[in-house]
């Protein structure tokens, strides 16, 4: 997939004008790229549009306009755009109650390494977590992780032929399997692959 460049970005004043419409389009797009895993985990499969929005929002929030700082934002977010042989996703562990969240994050240490995808009856493909920096300790995991699922050519071919996609969690404290990946997500993920 094409990485974002400075030329893809809106200047701050232009973005301020376009933001409501752009945000609405991105939120609709994200709705088709999100998958809930049980009540408290979700995956948002990132792509060029979701990262474009993220960069624009960071530039806006931080009032970033210096070229070197813009390049730094692009360097931080471009790795989250799929490369054509993989999917990249943000894993969120969501507990509204702070005490319940603290207990869950302690109980789920290492969950980020136990999220998987499977095409038909092919191999289970575990996500590679947090390649940019470590987000967990021995005592607790983070509420947000970034995952890369590297798909072998056979899995890509099977998906293109209409094979089913399952996503799950295989952690000692949490075992989940989602066999009902929505068709809109399935189609959107196919677009990320060469």
CA angle 29, 64, 144 (to 5 degrees): 50
Q: Are residues 20 and 115 in the same domain?
A: no
User: What does residue 173 show for φ and ψ, rounded to 5 degrees?
Assistant: -100, -5
Q: Are residues 132 and 72 in the same domain?
A: no
pLDDT, tens digit, 9 for 90 and up, residues 151-182: 999 999 999 999 999 999 999 999 999 998 99
Half-sphere exposure of 147 (CA within 13 A, CB side): 27
Q: Are residues 98 and 111 in the same domain?
A: yes
Exposed, middle or buried: residue 61 (CB in 10 Å: 0-12, 13-18, 19+)? exposed
Q: How many domains does the chain have?
A: 2
Containing structural domain, residue 52: 1-31+48-81
Q: Are residues 95 and 181 in the same domain?
A: yes
pLDDT, tens digit, 9 for 90 and up, residues 91-144: 999 999 999 999 999 999 999 999 999 999 999 999 999 987 788 888 999 999
- Cα distance between residue 10 and residue 64, in whole Å: 12
pTM: 0.93
């Amino acid at each position: 997939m094409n990485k974002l460049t400075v030329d893809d970005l809106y200047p701050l004043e232009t973005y301020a004008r376009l933001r409501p419409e752009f945000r609405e389009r991105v939120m609709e797009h994200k709705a088709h790229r999100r998958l809930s895993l049980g009540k408290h985990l979700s995956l948002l499969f990132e792509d060029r549009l979701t990262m474009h929005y993220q960069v624009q929002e960071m530039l806006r929030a931080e009032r970033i306009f210096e070229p070197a700082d813009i390049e730094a934002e692009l360097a931080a977010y471009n790795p989250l755009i799929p490369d054509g042989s993989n999917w990249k996703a943000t894993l969120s562990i969501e507990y509204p109650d702070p005490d319940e969240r603290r207990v869950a994050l302690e109980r789920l240490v290492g969950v980020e390494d136990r999220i998987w995808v499977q095409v038909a009856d092919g191999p289970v493909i575990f996500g590679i977590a947090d390649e940019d920096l470590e987000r967990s300790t021995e005592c607790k995991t983070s509420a947000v992780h970034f995952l890369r699922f590297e798909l072998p050519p056979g899995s890509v071919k099977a998906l293109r032929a209409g094979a089913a996609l399952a996503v799950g969690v295989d952690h000692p404290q949490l075992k989940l399997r989602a066999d009902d990946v929505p068709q809109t997500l399935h189609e959107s993920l196919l677009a990320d692959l060469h």
